[in-house]
């Protein structure tokens, strides 16, 4: 009796279908946020500044906090997957810590994104602002895709690291196009 | 399908609340006063207009002159001195605010903090 091994690199329909589904849902979320930002008339108002003197410093610091936690999530993920050099095996507390770091990072992004969308809307005044607007929409699409990937047992093993890496990369790019610009251009108000 | 964790439920709740809140209409009562409060406007003050994501040419003013900044765009803007000598704060679309010209003569550059491509200069004559 002989056994035929399929060495083709093309994903089987059984794998491709859930991959395409979570990617499509994430894409739909990103597009929906972009559409809202475009059609919504910016209010120019603020709901809260969480004690910061103005909205922009609040957004800059919250985004910085989210980006920092995002980096910690990346490091903890590398540790869990045994890819963090000299770290040894991951302790039992690491997976829940990884989840709570991500939750805190996500929650920090919400007031930032809310004021971006509701108060300012999707803008394309210059390249930095256009990139920031697109990245902001893409972030929640990538987040949705990652959350769905976490729930599924039918995806290839590389899906979760790829989704998480994409999410951290987008978050870092958002920080570079907003908080870094703010701190280097305006300074550090609220400190 | 794996079980839902508390962290996922918290994220979903936060996203849901934020999503619903996006439907909130603009409301003056929702404005944080320290953020968007407009200063009183004097009847004989100079004026700078914001329209089409650009400042109109700023007039030459005397030291200490009150300058009205009116935002005729739909988006919020600021008029902020590069060296921090004056700042309107965020001016929502259709609203106005005022600044006071510096006491020393000179040319003062300013920018919109929200849209840094918007720049201008204020001349204070001696």
Residue among A56, A50, A6 at smallest CA distance from B90: A56
ipTM of the complex: 0.80
Tens-digit pLDDT profile for residues A33-81: 999 999 988 776 778 889 887 778 889 999 999 999 999 999 999 999 9
Q: Which of A100, A114, A121 is nearest residue B21 as measured by Cβ atoms?
A: A114
* B50 sits in which H/E element: strand B46-50
How close is the nearest chain B Cα to the Cα of A141, in Å? Answer: 12
* Residue B25 placed within a domain: no
B15–A contact, CB cutoff 8 A: yes
Sign of the Cα torsion A50, A60, A123, A140 reads negative
Tens-digit pLDDT profile for residues A89-146: 899 999 999 999 999 999 999 999 999 998 888 887 678 889 999 999 999 999 999 9
Residue A127 has what pLDDT? 84
Range of the domain at B111: 39-124
For chain B positions 40-69, those within 8 Å of chain A (CB to CB) are 53
**Alpha helix stretches (DSSP H) within chain A:** 13-39, 55-80, 94-114, 127-151, 159-176, 179-185
* Residue A121 placed within a domain: yes
How close is the nearest chain B Cα to the Cα of A60, in Å? Answer: 12
CATH code at B62?
Answer: 2.60.40.420
Sign of the Cα torsion A150, A155, A157, A159 reads negative
Name the burial class of residue A13, with classes exposed (0-12), middle (13-18) and buried (19+) by CB atoms within 10 angstroms of its CB: exposed
The yes-or-no verdict on residue B100 having pLDDT over 50 is yes
In which band, very low, low, confident or very high, does the pLDDT at B109 lie, cut at 50, 70 and 90? confident
Residue B27 has what pLDDT? 60
B46-50 and B66-71 as β-strands: parallel, antiparallel, unpaired? parallel
* Residue B51 placed within a domain: yes
Residue A189 has what pLDDT? 60
The yes-or-no verdict on residue B71 having pLDDT over 70 is yes
Which residue of B27, B75, B84 is the best one to mutate when testing the A interface, meaning the one whose CB has the most A CBs within 10 A?
Answer: B75
A123–B contact, CB cutoff 8 A: yes
Residue A151 has what pLDDT? 87
Residue B125 has what pLDDT? 81
The model's pTM is 0.70
Tens-digit pLDDT profile for residues B74-94: 788 999 988 778 999 989 888
Residues of B in contact with A167 (CB under 8 A): none
Q: Inter-chain contact B32–A106, Cβ cutoff 8 Å?
A: no
Q: Inter-chain contact A44–B11, Cβ cutoff 8 Å?
A: no
**Count of alpha carbons within 13 Å of B119, Cβ hemisphere only?**
5
How close is the nearest chain A Cα to the Cα of B66, in Å? Answer: 23
Residue B62 has what pLDDT? 85
Report residue A96 as tokens.
Answer: 């829940």
Tens-digit pLDDT profile for residues B6-62: 888 888 898 988 888 888 877 644 433 333 333 333 434 688 988 877 888 777 888
A83–B contact, CB cutoff 8 A: no
Which residue of A30, A32, A38, A43 is the best one to mutate when testing the B interface, meaning the one whose CB has the most B CBs within 10 A?
Answer: A43
* Residue A57 placed within a domain: no
For chain A positions 126-145, those within 8 Å of chain B (CB to CB) are 126, 129, 140
In which band, very low, low, confident or very high, does the pLDDT at A190 lie, cut at 50, 70 and 90? low
Q: Which of A44, A113, A140 is nearest residue B92 as measured by Cβ atoms?
A: A44
A55 within 8 A of B35, measured Cβ to Cβ: yes
Residue A68 has what pLDDT? 97
A160 within 8 A of A149, measured Cβ to Cβ: yes
Find the mean pLDDT for residues B86-114: 88
Structurally, chain A folds into a number of domains equal to 1
Residue A92 has what pLDDT? 94
Q: Which of B11, B18, B36 is nearest residue A114 as measured by Cβ atoms?
A: B18
* Residue A3 placed within a domain: no
Sheet strand arrangement including B96-100 = B46-50, B66-71, B96-100
* B19 sits in which H/E element: helix B6-21
Range of the domain at A148: 19-35+68-185
The yes-or-no verdict on residue A191 having pLDDT over 70 is no
* Residue A143 placed within a domain: yes
Sign of the Cα torsion A110, A116, A118, A121 reads negative
A46–B contact, CB cutoff 8 A: yes
Which residue of A26, A28, A42, A45 is the best one to mutate when testing the B interface, meaning the one whose CB has the most B CBs within 10 A?
Answer: A45
Structurally, chain B folds into a number of domains equal to 1
CB atoms within 10 A of CB B28: 10
């Amino acid at each position: 009796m002989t056994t035929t091994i399929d060495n083709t690199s093309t994903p089987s329909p059984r794998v491709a279908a859930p991959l395409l589904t979570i990617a499509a849902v994430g894409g739909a979320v990103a597009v929906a946020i972009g559409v809202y930002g475009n059609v919504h008339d910016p209010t120019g108002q603020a709901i809260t500044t969480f004690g910061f003197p103005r909205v922009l410093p609040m957004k800059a610091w919250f985004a910085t906090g989210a980006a920092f936690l995002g980096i910690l999530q990346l490091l903890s993920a590398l540790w869990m997957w045994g890819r963090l050099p000299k770290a040894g095996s991951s302790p039992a507390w690491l997976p829940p810590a990884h989840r709570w770091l991500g939750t805190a990072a996500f929650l920090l992004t919400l007031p930032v994104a809310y004021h971006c969308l509701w108060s300012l809307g999707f803008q394309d005044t210059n390249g930095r602002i256009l990139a920031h607007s697109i990245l902001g929409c893409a972030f929640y699409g990538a987040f949705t895709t990652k959350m769905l990937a976490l729930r599924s047992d039918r995806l290839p093993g590389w899906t979760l690291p790829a989704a998480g890496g994409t999410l951290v990369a987008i978050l870092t790019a958002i920080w570079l196009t907003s908080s870094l610009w703010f701190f280097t251009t305006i300074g550090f108000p609220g400190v | 399908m794996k079980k839902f964790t508390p962290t996922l439920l918290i994220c979903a709740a936060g996203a849901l609340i934020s999503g619903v809140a996006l439907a909130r209409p603009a409301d003056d009562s929702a404005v944080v006063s320290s953020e968007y409060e407009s200063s009183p406007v004097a009847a004989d003050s100079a004026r700078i207009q914001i329209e089409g994501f650009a400042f109109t040419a700023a007039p030459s003013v005397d030291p200490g002159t009150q300058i009205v900044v009116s935002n005729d765009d739909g988006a919020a803007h600021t008029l902020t001195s590069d060296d921090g000598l004056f700042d309107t704060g965020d001016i929502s679309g259709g609203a106005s605010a005022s600044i006071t010209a510096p006491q020393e003569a000179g040319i003062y550059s300013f920018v919109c903090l929200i849209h840094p491509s918007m720049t201008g200069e204020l001349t204070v004559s001696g």
